[in-house]
Amino acid sequence: MLPHDSIENFIGYLRDQKGYSLHTIRNYHTDLRHFSQFLASRETSQDSKRDDHEIDRVDPAAIREYLGSLYGSLARSTIARKLSALRSFFRFQEKKGLSRSNPAADIQTPKLEKYIPGYLPVDEVFRLLQRPKRDKLLGLRDLAIMEMLYSCGIRVSELEALNISSIDFEERLVKVVGKGNKERIVPVGRQALKAVKDYLEATQSIRKRGSGCSRENPLFLNVRGGRLSVRSLGRIIKRYAREIGLSSDISPHSMRHSFATHLLEGGADLRSVQELLGHVSLSTTQKYTHVSLDRLMEVYDKAHPRS
């Protein structure tokens, strides 16, 4: 097994010094505990008498065996993330002098499947935005949520973290805290701002009762007056998508994909879209061009007489 203290110290390092997102920290924590359980079962089956508190006992063969056991039950992207967690963990132990080497350093990352993001055509996004009932509080909230996702292209975790103070209504800007605790400023459309204003106005009495009128309080509230969770945000989008007959695969991330794709199809340059999405690497943004090229090919095949 991996020593419990070693895992917790590493997680604390990711949180306090590296500024990793809560989502990544949670995944890495789960990955390391899962690997530790694998080691425990492996040692039991081999009747090993090794000291399970020695990190140096973990060798590349054990990691390869672990990764091999995951194939067929997990996506390659998930297996790649688990390997990344192990690499980072053992690199940290090596720097601290608790391990002589990193047994995961030379293990090849699984070749990932080519992933082209799913997105909604403009008319389907508009249908989705027309679905919430404007005469009900939850309808106003859900409309504001979907308008913000589509207008700003932010991640669902970034939306969850928004406070009232995150929005500058005069300048039409939103301050977003993204991956690695990095801040960026993104523009927000007038329709989205109107939806948010209507929602804030409708929740004034609720916020006053719960001392939630401060600009530092959550923008989107659950029925108990607390911050709306990522999971709840996902359920909201899926429910409306299901109601209008869209695929069950539609998620908050589909709104982000739609945002990027529609900008590119409308003539926005790749660098600008990269900044808006908060991507560190341009190659991450380039996957959206495949969607646009597919659309161009479809138009070409239909319209060109010699296609």
**Could you give the angle at the alpha carbon of 153 between the alpha carbons of 284 and 211, nearest 5°?**
130
**Residue in 141, 256, 257, 262 annotated catalytic:** 256
Check whether 172 has a pLDDT greater than 90: yes
**Residue in 20, 66, 199, 288 annotated catalytic:** 288
Sheet containing strand 167-168, edge to edge, reads 167-168, 173-177, 183-187
**Residue in 42, 91, 179, 184 annotated catalytic:** 179
What's the pLDDT score for residue 53? 46
Q: What is the pLDDT of residues 234-277, one digit of tens each?
A: 999 999 999 999 887 899 999 999 999 999 888 888 899 999 99
**Residue in 82, 87, 141, 155 annotated catalytic:** 155
Q: What is the pLDDT of residues 3-15, one digit of tens each?
A: 889 999 999 999 8
Q: What mean pLDDT do residues 92-118 have? A: 83
- Told to judge if 279 belongs to the known catalytic residues of this protein, a careful annotator would answer yes
Which are the contacts of 304, defined by CB distance < 8 A and separation ≥ 6? none
Burial class of residue 257, CB neighbours in 10 A (0-12, 13-18, 19+): buried
Q: What mean pLDDT do residues 157-176 have? A: 95
**Residue in 127, 197, 253, 287 annotated catalytic:** 253
What's the pLDDT score for residue 265? 84
Give strand pairing partners of 283: none
- Told to judge if 224 belongs to the known catalytic residues of this protein, a careful annotator would answer no
Domain boundaries defined on the chain: 4-95, 122-302
The pLDDT confidence band at residue 169, using thresholds 50, 70 and 90, is very high
Q: Measured on CA atoms in the order 167, 171, 177, 179, is the torsion positive or negative?
A: positive
Burial 89-99 (b: 16+ CB within 10 A, else e): bbebbbeeeeb
- Told to judge if 288 belongs to the known catalytic residues of this protein, a careful annotator would answer yes
As a CATH number, domain 4-95 is 1.10.150
pTM of the model: 0.68
- Told to judge if 253 belongs to the known catalytic residues of this protein, a careful annotator would answer yes
φ and ψ at 215, to 5 degrees? -70, -10
- Told to judge if 131 belongs to the known catalytic residues of this protein, a careful annotator would answer no
Q: Does domain 122-302 sit in CATH 1.10.443.10?
A: yes
- Told to judge if 150 belongs to the known catalytic residues of this protein, a careful annotator would answer no
Taking the C-alpha atoms of residue 145 and residue 218, their distance in angstroms, rounded to an integer, is 13
The segment with the largest mean pLDDT, out of 1-5, 105-109, 214-218, is 105-109
**Residue in 82, 141, 238, 279 annotated catalytic:** 279
Taking the C-alpha atoms of residue 135 and residue 181, their distance in angstroms, rounded to an integer, is 37
Report the SS3 class of residue 184.
Answer: strand
